[in-house]
Chain A
Amino acid sequence: MTTPKMMQGNEACAAGAIAAGCRFFGGYPITPSTDIAEYMARELPKHGGVFIQMEDEIAGLAAVIGASVGGVKAMTATSGPGFSLMQENIGYAAMAEIPCVIVDVMRLGPSTGRPTSPSQGDVMQARWGTHGDHPIIAVAPSSVDECFGLTVRAFNLSERYRTPVILLIDEVVGHLREKVTLPPPDQIRVLERLRPTEPPEWYKPYGSAPGDVPALAPFGSGYRYHITGLHHDEAGFPTERVDEVRPWTRRVFRKIKGNVQHIVRYEAEGVEGARTIVVAYGAVARSAREAIKIARAKRRKVGLLRLQTLWPFPTRVVSEVCRNAQRVIVPEMNLGQMAIEVERIVGDRIVRRVNRIDGELITPQEILEAMETK
């Protein structure tokens, strides 16, 4: 065991990245994510890694993709405005199937908004911000400890499924200082991407593969292949043939959808026999837990479903946990971006939304009111 220390969510995220083997950071500082860039600038060189501040967020993610193609685990961190700029390259990473981790510390938008205030307004942008049909993985931590753990996991998922993974941290959690005891390095499970074993002339970077994830050869390792944002064949060269375009799209969806049960993480607490279920994520899940503590003291049967994975959406979990609920409360620091998904599954008749879009964290009292009003 290492000794406990007081750490900020953003710092724990950066520490988690290094623990997961991240050795490249490319980005552009922006409140409230800057602590991550500062940590990486300071610590990465000590681990033989490289930190580059690029000219903007577009270049930041481009550099990250380049580093990853070179065989190095890579990450960037930003907030709303920068996340908007990154959308094009998120699509490129999804299309070219390049592992990378994108941290978005959510602040109040749209546009410049309120730079220092929290929000959960980027949930749908994480899913659909880049154009075209593509799968994506997004996770949302609720504590400093989880900022560390979910960042490690984000890298593992990204490497295992050859996909960009988005970490949605809200400003409250990003700037929160909490006591944490980080696990020693030998207790952290770190996954590496599959590398080809066949000779270079047989290598198909986009071929069919067990689990639908083909091996990825680092550029410069003797495997010559093509990478493009155009639809491509198994060798990576542009194609317009429908019998090559369709299988690609199907495969990349299958690699995520077929593994939903391995990807999705959540925490269900006191949901057995509960008439009211609160579905929450990020800092708001902490407000929910406080509200539930108060409600239980009044002998109310209330359960909490806290989602750590937001995308792919945990449809089955929400459906099962809420099956017998008479009321499902979805508190969010947005106007109901996840509530839409929950309503799709359990029906909008029983869903109560609790929303704030003024840059303040939802209070336990506001969630309690949603439990008590008819």
Chain B
Amino acid sequence: MKTEIDRYEIRLAGAGGQGLILAGIILAEAVAIYDGRNAIQTQSYGPEARGGASRAEVIISDGPIHYPKVMHADVLLALSQEACDKYFFDLKPDGILIVDSGHVERLPSSQALRLPIMQMAVEATGRPLTANMVALGFISGLTQIVSRPSLEKAVTARVPKGTAEANLKALAAGWDAAEGAPKQR
């Protein structure tokens, strides 16, 4: 995506422990540091270490970013039914909804992109924990909001030591799946 962006909003929502905040940080860092645009990342989560609602938000722009939260999301990733139900209404009419088909059964829109994210993670790396990277790869491949080398650099820099290879594999699985997905605007 090379055109000037005024404001592009991505919301990653699900449960605590799914790695959504890390995915948000990696995306923001890839865009802001390695691609050289402007990006900001915020998070919202409950007091629990695992479970409970969790969300990360990334705003991307080529100008200054004032309000740091999502107003009308361009992309919503929902890894739980609760997140899908709660945040669908903030999605732009032409926004992209991506859900994990293993966790979200009731779809609010026929336009939703259903993807077995968790299952893909297990197939790619044997670790369900890498589902966040599958999702990140899919969103990035689909929207082209970030370049692939930048994203890979950011993943390598941020994930725990010794897990880069698995995480990059999961990322690639997501990115490759996006290439076969229906074309978005």
Q: Are A283 and B68 in contact (CB under 8 A)?
A: yes
Name the residue in B43, B45, B47, B66 with the highest tally of chain A Cβ atoms < 10 Å from its Cβ: B66
User: Contacts A176-B40, A363-B71 hold; do A4 and B33 have CB atoms under 8 A apart?
Assistant: yes
Chain A residues positioned under 8 Å from B28 (CB to CB) = 6, 177
Chain B residues positioned under 8 Å from A286 (CB to CB) = 66-68
The reply on B32 being an interface residue by CB < 8 A is yes
User: Contacts A115-B47, A176-B41, A176-B42 hold; do A289 and B25 have CB atoms under 8 A apart?
Assistant: no
The reply on B103 being an interface residue by CB < 8 A is no
Q: Are B66 and A172 in contact (CB under 8 A)?
A: no
**B86: min CB distance to chain A, Å:** 13
With both beta carbons as reference points, the residue of chain B lying nearest to A284 in the complex is identified as B67
The reply on B114 being an interface residue by CB < 8 A is no
The reply on A5 being an interface residue by CB < 8 A is yes
Q: Are B71 and A116 in contact (CB under 8 A)?
A: no
Of the candidates B33, B46, B47, B66, which one forms a contact with A290 in the assembled complex, judged by CB atoms under 8 Å apart?
Answer: B66
Chain B, 7-45, CB within 8 A of any chain A CB: 25, 28-29, 32-33, 38-45
- Binary CB contact string for chain B from 37 to 73 against chain A (1 if under 8 A, 0 otherwise): 0111111111100000000000000000111110100
Q: Are B66 and A293 in contact (CB under 8 A)?
A: yes
The reply on A179 being an interface residue by CB < 8 A is yes
A349–B40 Cα distance when bound, in Å, is 38
**B131: min CB distance to chain A, Å:** 22
**A341: min CB distance to chain B, Å:** 24
Chain B residues positioned under 8 Å from A361 (CB to CB) = 68-69
The reply on A120 being an interface residue by CB < 8 A is no
The reply on A175 being an interface residue by CB < 8 A is yes
A356–B38 Cα distance when bound, in Å, is 28
Q: Are B47 and A172 in contact (CB under 8 A)?
A: no
The reply on A31 being an interface residue by CB < 8 A is yes
Chain A residues positioned under 8 Å from B29 (CB to CB) = 6, 177
With both beta carbons as reference points, the residue of chain A lying nearest to B46 in the complex is identified as A116
Total interface residues on A, CB under 8 Å, equals 23
Name the residue in B39, B44, B45, B68 with the highest tally of chain A Cβ atoms < 10 Å from its Cβ: B68
Chain A residues positioned under 8 Å from B41 (CB to CB) = 6, 176-178
Q: Are B68 and A176 in contact (CB under 8 A)?
A: yes
- Binary CB contact string for chain A from 1 to 13 against chain B (1 if under 8 A, 0 otherwise): 0001110000000
Q: Are B47 and A31 in contact (CB under 8 A)?
A: yes
Q: Are A364 and B44 in contact (CB under 8 A)?
A: no
The reply on A287 being an interface residue by CB < 8 A is yes
Q: Are B67 and A175 in contact (CB under 8 A)?
A: no
**A278: min CB distance to chain B, Å:** 12
A254–B131 Cα distance when bound, in Å, is 60
Chain A residues positioned under 8 Å from B46 (CB to CB) = 116
Name the residue in A6, A176, A283 with the highest tally of chain B Cβ atoms < 10 Å from its Cβ: A6
Q: Are B42 and A179 in contact (CB under 8 A)?
A: no
**B65: min CB distance to chain A, Å:** 8
Of the candidates A5, A179, A283, which one forms a contact with B38 in the assembled complex, judged by CB atoms under 8 Å apart?
Answer: A179
Q: Are A175 and B25 in contact (CB under 8 A)?
A: no
A293–B7 Cα distance when bound, in Å, is 13
Q: Are A172 and B42 in contact (CB under 8 A)?
A: yes
Chain A residues positioned under 8 Å from B25 (CB to CB) = 6, 177
**B91: min CB distance to chain A, Å:** 16
- Binary CB contact string for chain A from 273 to 316 against chain B (1 if under 8 A, 0 otherwise): 00000000001001101100100000000000000000000000
A287–B68 Cα distance when bound, in Å, is 8
**A270: min CB distance to chain B, Å:** 13
A290–B43 Cα distance when bound, in Å, is 19
**A316: min CB distance to chain B, Å:** 27
User: Contacts A31-B47, A116-B47, A293-B66 hold; do A175 and B42 have CB atoms under 8 A apart?
Assistant: yes
**B109: min CB distance to chain A, Å:** 23
**B5: min CB distance to chain A, Å:** 15
Give 27 CB contacts A-B under 8 Å: A4-B32, A6-B25, A6-B28, A6-B29, A31-B47, A117-B44, A175-B42, A176-B42, A176-B68, A177-B29, A178-B40, A178-B41, A178-B65, A179-B32, A179-B33, A179-B38, A179-B39, A179-B40, A286-B66, A286-B68, A287-B66, A293-B66, A361-B68, A363-B67, A363-B71, A364-B71, A365-B71
A interface residues with partner B (beta carbon < 8 Å): 4-6, 31, 115-117, 172, 175-179, 283, 286-287, 289-290, 293, 361, 363-365
5 residue pairs, one from A and one from B, having the closest CB atoms: A290-B67, A177-B41, A289-B66, A290-B66, A179-B32
